[in-house]
Amino acid sequence: MSKPKFYLYLRRSWRQEEHRKIVALGPVVFLVATYLKTSPLSNLVGIYHAPVRSIVRATNLSEEEVKKSLLELERIAFCRYDHTDEYVSVTGALAAQLGANLSVTQIQGALKALDHLINDEGAPFAKELRAKIDEDASCQAKITEYEEKQAVKKLSARKPKKVVEIGSQAGSFYAHKQR
């Protein structure tokens, strides 16, 4: 999956309650939150490996400041951070990037990214998000509708069969022969 060239950070973000909570925690926490949202390591689903040392290097903060900021961001449910494996899950990243009404292609891209995180990286939080998408009725309806359309396309793209009548003493039967 290709990396996005930019992260959607809207002006209206400044008016959102979550943003206000982050700003109220101070500039250091705000910087770490901004890094987590815009990190070059991030992906579509917002679950990625984010070692503290990488955050320290990118933000020029101390390790202690980064760790405290991560705890504060977890406290307000901005993200979850696995301090052992150093994976982050930015809450609502998928919806923030793509909107609430995902297309089938976007859903499939998210599922592919999650499968990679689960199977290849063993990333914490990925199974949980995958289960939420699997249980989401609107996502499943879109996927089912898409799969049905693909099946109809596949059937209509097949070559028509030539019917050859073969006579026999007991009656006729049909043999199908491909053109």
Domain boundary among 36, 66, 98: 98
Any domain includes 126: no
Helices and strands in the chain: count of H runs, count of E runs: 8, 5
Q: CATH number, domain at 73? A: 1.10.10.10
- 104: phi then psi, degrees, rounded to nearest 5: -60, -40
Residues 151 and 88 in one domain: no
Range(s) of the domain holding residue 75 = 11-98
Any domain includes 65: yes
Residues 15 and 94 in one domain: yes
What string of pLDDT tens digits covers the 179 residues of the chain? Answer: 455 544 555 555 666 788 889 999 999 999 999 999 889 888 888 999 999 999 999 999 999 999 999 999 999 999 999 999 999 999 988 777 666 677 788 888 888 989 999 999 999 999 998 888 888 777 777 778 777 777 777 777 666 666 555 555 554 455 555 54
How would DSSP label each residue in 126-138?
A: HHHHHHHHHH-HH
Residues 17 and 73 in one domain: yes
- 91: phi then psi, degrees, rounded to nearest 5: -60, 130
Q: How many residues does the chain have?
A: 179
Q: Report the predicted TM-score, pTM, of the whole model to 2 decimal places.
A: 0.71
